[in-house]
Amino acid sequence: MPLDLARPDADAVLRCGTTARGAGGGHPTLEAAARGLARCFYDEMATTGPGGPVRACALVRVYKTHPYGTLPADLRRAALALLRPDEHPTPGMRCVALLASAGDEPAWNSRRAAGGHPAIPLPTPDAVARWPMIASLAAGFGLEPADLVEPSPNVVRPRRGRNYGVFHVAEALGSDVIPAQGALVRRHGVRSVIAFGGTLSTGDLFAVVLFCRVPVSSDVAEQFRALALHVKSMLFAFGERDAFDPAPHDVTSEATR
């Protein structure tokens, strides 16, 4: 039964969490698990339309922070392209990497074809401020910029005794922190954005981001803390080396310019 994003209740959130654990469980890599999660949330989040239930999300994406040196070659290239001339990559430089995507546009259903910025380098805490959505998401999760750049286990600040968080933008249209205003927000009628996530065993952050067609209140957004716990418990065992699917054609030894 889909989760009505406009009117979720605790039981429906619990059912959605159980469905998500089934969709994301049993995979050999974090990327594969994230694909299952992205597709699950894209399919399971619903709202009532004139003809019955319709998908409530135009786009669902899963991200994690990850060291540059063990990114797949395509993501290393994407990260390099965004560094400033005076910035130089190191193997341990954290990047916000796209793990999986599911959405209305055909290209949005492949990590490699999804477009945008699939890997954003964070060489210093000051670099975080250049990416308003990342900075705002970190703040919503109770993080300082330095926590993204130099992660450590249990880095998400405890809130109500928990170490996972929620980021919420009630009105996406015109928001300074939501990118792609024309191609995503206006074209696909995105009203609100929710992200939920936590930390993995490496201390790196993961986040599931929902671009929602229905307005989502702060009270509704808070219910996604329960989903964050489900996802965190399922993904926690993955490390740096089993994060991405094998890609034999990638030149994985290219860690610096």
Other residues' Cβ atoms within 10 Å of the Cβ of residue 173: 13
Contacts of 253 (CB under 8 A, 6+ apart): none
For residue 47, being part of any structural domain is answered with no
For residue 45, being part of any structural domain is answered with no
For residue 65, being part of any structural domain is answered with yes
Token digits for 10?
Answer: 């605790």
For residue 170, the enclosing domain spans: 57-235
Q: How many domains does the chain have?
A: 1
Report the C-alpha gap between 197 and 35 in whole angstroms. Answer: 15
pLDDT tens track, the chain, 257 positions = 578 887 778 888 888 888 888 888 889 999 999 999 999 999 989 887 777 778 999 999 999 999 999 999 999 999 999 999 999 999 999 999 999 999 999 999 999 888 889 999 999 999 999 999 999 999 888 888 998 998 865 544 444 434 468 999 999 999 999 989 999 999 999 999 999 998 888 888 999 999 999 999 998 888 888 888 888 888 888 888 899 998 754 433 333 33
For residue 49, being part of any structural domain is answered with no
For residue 178, being part of any structural domain is answered with yes
Q: Which CATH number does the domain housing residue 167 bear?
A: 3.30.450
Q: Which residues on neighbouring strands pair with residue 60, listed in sequence order?
A: 102, 210
CB 59 within 8 A of CB 82: no
For residue 86, being part of any structural domain is answered with yes
For residue 242, being part of any structural domain is answered with no
For residue 257, being part of any structural domain is answered with no
First to last CA, the chain: 49
CB 144 within 8 A of CB 138: yes
Burial (CB count <10 Å: 0-12, 13-18, 19+), residue 74? middle
Q: Which amino acid is at 51?
A: G
Q: What is the pTM of this model?
A: 0.89
CB 128 within 8 A of CB 145: yes
